Amino acid sequence: MNHRPTQAQRDLSDTIWRLSRNGVWQYKENFMRDVPQTLADHVAEEVAKANEWQDISTAPKDGRHILLYRPDIQFVGYHAIVGWCMQGCRVIDPPPTRWRPLPATPEGSE
């Protein structure tokens, strides 16, 4: 799996490197101030991304169900060896162009 870090992840890595290269304890105040904000920015970016339609090329292809979109339909589906599928592996042709994660299930639901 080819994982490319997000900008927030790169920023976090750069911040940690910058603050620790000369000894993290020397920069404890900066570290304690900058790292939590960078983590908060990363979490906010990931939450925003989860709520937006993303290009199909970035969709997971591990069989998990996700929301799929093409101009004429939105549906829950997954990627299989044969391509993008709906329930029962009915192959979708033409394939979807966008995707997003399924929303979380309501708390207390069975």
- Provide the residue range defining the domain that includes 89: 54-100
Does residue 94 fall inside a structural domain?
yes
Does residue 106 fall inside a structural domain?
no
- Cβ-contact 90, 64 below 8 angstroms: no
- Cβ-contact 52, 100 below 8 angstroms: yes
- For residues 39 and 22, state if they share a domain: yes
Q: With a cut of 70, list the residues of the chain below it in pLDDT.
A: 1-3, 15-39, 43, 47-50, 109-110
- For residues 78 and 59, state if they share a domain: yes
pLDDT tens-place string over residues 51-64: 789 999 999 999 99
The span from the CA of 61 to the CA of 78, in Å, is 7
The span from the CA of 21 to the CA of 27, in Å, is 10
- For residues 96 and 83, state if they share a domain: yes
- Cβ-contact 10, 41 below 8 angstroms: no
Does residue 107 fall inside a structural domain?
no
Residue 89 Rama label (left phi>0; alpha psi -120 to 50; beta) = left
Does residue 23 fall inside a structural domain?
yes
Does residue 1 fall inside a structural domain?
no
What domain count does the chain have?
2
- Residue 20 has what pLDDT? 61
Look up residue 109 and give its two tokens. 């639901």
